[in-house]
Chains A and B, each alone.
Chain A
Amino acid sequence: RKEVEQDPGPFNVPEGATVAFNCTYSNSASQSFFWYRQDCRKEPKLLMSVYSSGNEDGRFTAQLNRASQYISLLIRDSKLSDSATYLCVVTLQGGKLIFGQGTELSVKP
């Protein structure tokens, strides 16, 4: 079993749609959680941290359920510029990051 698993994708959605990505992790000792965005042939960039209470940044909402070891990312009112690969990331004690395989999102006009 992979340490971090994500929806396989790709997700093809029209502009304005709401899309949700899910992620599960296997190590209950995971300490910090993040969503990264990676554009084609570019490096991953931090999109947002994920907190137990849930957090929102504009059109993006992230949720964490420690009991179920589950993380989600919700994107509302999708834009063409949201097209990218979204990586779910968890950290273990000591700061090592474990990356999911990523889910590709394509927003169409």
Chain B
Amino acid sequence: DVKVTQSSRYLVKRTGEKVFLECVQDMDHENMFWYRQDPGLGLRLIYFSYDVKMKEKGDIPEGYSVSREKKERFSLILESASTSQTSMYLCASSLLTSSGFNYGYTFGSGTRLTVV
């Protein structure tokens, strides 16, 4: 089974801090994604990447950046954490065939970030 590992289960950071959330997958998937999930708002896509050093903005990229230096690792960076970024952050990876068929995502277990 694909394993997607997020470095922290719970994090508490102060307003203004730079925060790094790490995600590693072990199945050589090209596609990796960062979502945040909030009550009543569902899952919202922050950034995604289809290849090393490649990144695309999702629906809510403001206040975030990403890094993908290696295929297996996709990092989410909160440049200056704010209380509005308190949320559950979920990383996912997927395999997309050349014909465009998607086998679905595998999610990491999530990082619950609290910004105080």
Count of interface residues, chain B, beta-carbon cutoff 8 Å? 24
A95 touches B42 (CB 8 A): no
Please give, as numbers and ranges, the residues of chain A lying within 8 Å of B42 by CB-CB distance: 87, 99-102
Q: How many pairs of residues, A versus B, come closer than 8 Å at their CB atoms? A: 55
A46/B102 in contact, CB under 8 A = no
Check A72 for interface membership: any CB of B closer than 8 A: no
User: What's the least CB distance linking B12 to chain A, in Å?
Assistant: 17
Would you call B94 an interface residue if the criterion is a C-beta within 8 Å of the partner chain's C-beta atoms? yes
Q: How far is the CA of A92 from the CA of B92 in the complex (A)?
A: 16
Known: A31-B100, A43-B110, A44-B43. A97 touches B105 (CB 8 A): yes
Q: Quick one: CB contact mask for A43-84 with B, threshold 8 Å, 1 for yes?
A: 111100100000000000000000000000000000000000
Interface string of B90-116 (1 = CB under 8 A from A): 101010100011111111111000000
**1/0 contact string of A7-47 vs chain B (CB within 8 Å):** 00000000000000000000000011010100000111110
Closest Cβ of chain B to A31, distance in Å, is 6
List, in ascending order, chain A residues with CB within 8 A of B102's CB. Answer: 31-32, 91, 95, 97
Check if B90 sits within 8 Å of A49, measured CB to CB: no
Q: Which of B33, B104, B106, B107 contacts A32 (CB 8 A)?
A: B104
When distances are taken between beta carbons in the complex, the residues of chain A under 8 Å from B110 are 42-43
Ordered nearest first, which 6 A-B pairs have the shortest CB separation? A43-B107, A95-B96, A99-B43, A101-B42, A32-B102, A91-B102
Which A residues lie at the B interface, using CB under 8 A?
31-32, 34, 36, 42-46, 49, 87, 89, 91, 93-97, 99-102
**Chain B residues within CB distance 8 Å of chain A:** 31, 33, 40-43, 45, 48, 50, 90, 92, 94, 96, 100-110
